[in-house]
Chain A
Amino acid sequence: GNSVTQMEGPVTLSEEAFLTINCTYTATGYPSLFWYVQYPGEGLQLLLKATKADDKGSNKGFEATYRKETTSFHLEKGSVQVSDSAVYFCALINNAGNMLTFGGGTRLMVKP
């Protein structure tokens, strides 16, 4: 079956630090990959996506590249802000299905 593995948090960084949150996946076929962000008290919001190998998704300064050879989709940001503090979820949809599989989530805390 499909599965997504994320690094465990919390990840604590100072403002303007570089962020990497690792995500690896197991899936049959050619899944589409996503990063969602959840701010306190809210539902998940789509942050970025990539639908095929070597695609780079980007939004709000965040980037992630679909690496089929390493089955990874690591999230990066060059300079984090306090407002980026949230929980980040990596997810996939297998192209044969219609259900989203999530990783366990990684909490990011950014200190001023």
Chain B
Amino acid sequence: DAGITQSPRHKVTETGTPVTLRCHQTENHRYMYWYRQDPGHGLRLIHYSYGVKDTDKGEVSDGYSVSRSKTEDFLLTLESATSSQTSVYFCAISWSDDGNSPLHFGNGTRLTVT
């Protein structure tokens, strides 16, 4: 798992509730990413971070926010979960300081919004 821990691994929540997913890395890598995986779409980037308090949007950022107050933690928040956000969420890190290297992924969080 390249030193990446995602929590929780599984979560079921109701529409309209807030949800926060956590990604923790054991090394001080600069770049961290949140992806969602859906059938037929592969992985799509939600948000990424290039340092503490430095974040930017990916291609499917609507309905999601992120925070990075410490190098080792990157949080993904669904302020008001919807059924369309049922998915498997993957955190990833880049081992290079410029982000231009293969990514290493956590084992994912399966989120179900009922």
Contact = CB atoms under 8 A, between A and B. Distances in A.
B103 A100 contact: yes
A37 to B, nearest CB: 11
Interface string B1-21: 100100000000000000000
A46 B58 contact: no
Given A98-B98, A98-B99, A105 B90 contact: no
B84 interface: no
Interface residues of A, number: 22
Interface of A: 4, 6, 32, 34, 41-46, 49, 89, 93, 95, 97-100, 102-105
Q: Report whether over half of chain A's contact residues are helix, strand or loop; otherwise say mixed.
A: strand
A93 B102 CA distance: 8
A43 B90 CA distance: 7
A98 B104 contact: no
Nearest to A4: B42
Contacts of B92: 43-44, 100
Interface in B30-73: 31, 33, 40-45, 48, 50, 58
